[in-house]
Amino acid sequence: MKKAIETKNAPAPSATYSQAIVQNGFIFVAGQGPIDPKTGQYMKSEIKAETRLVFQNLKAILEAAGSSLEKVVKMNVYLRDIGDFAAMNEVYTTQFTAPYPARTTIQAGALPRGMAVEIECIAHQ
């Protein structure tokens, strides 16, 4: 049975989607950007600060679903500029230990609100 996850500790969806869906023991987290959960505003900054805020939002949603970053099996990272890869990856590596989640990182043509980074993930419950 499909169950939607909702927490005030992460940004509210800005369109018709759920923060996350739980089904068959997995949590599918929608792409999260550097959005302040309290104000709903994009917190424009340098890539490392934006990436840290994205991870805070991901963690809040995973925790609301009864999971954590340690249970992430797959991540998709979307960058406005692939030149930001090294800086994003520096923050990314502080969030995980081996074995690391499978990951795809691409340069997106454009991200909502002009964000520099957006990350989505799949985790086990």
Facing residues of 124 across strands? Answer: 26
| Residue closest to 75 by CA, chosen among 90, 89, 87 | 89
CA 88 to chain centre: 12
DSSP conformational letter for 57: H
For 26-74, the pLDDT digits (tens) are: 999 999 999 999 999 999 999 999 999 999 999 999 999 999 999 999 9
CATH architecture of 3-124: 2-Layer Sandwich (3.30)
What is the C-alpha separation between 27 and 69, in angstroms, rounded? 11
Mean pLDDT, the chain, rounded, equals 97
Neighbours of 18 (CB within 10 A): 16
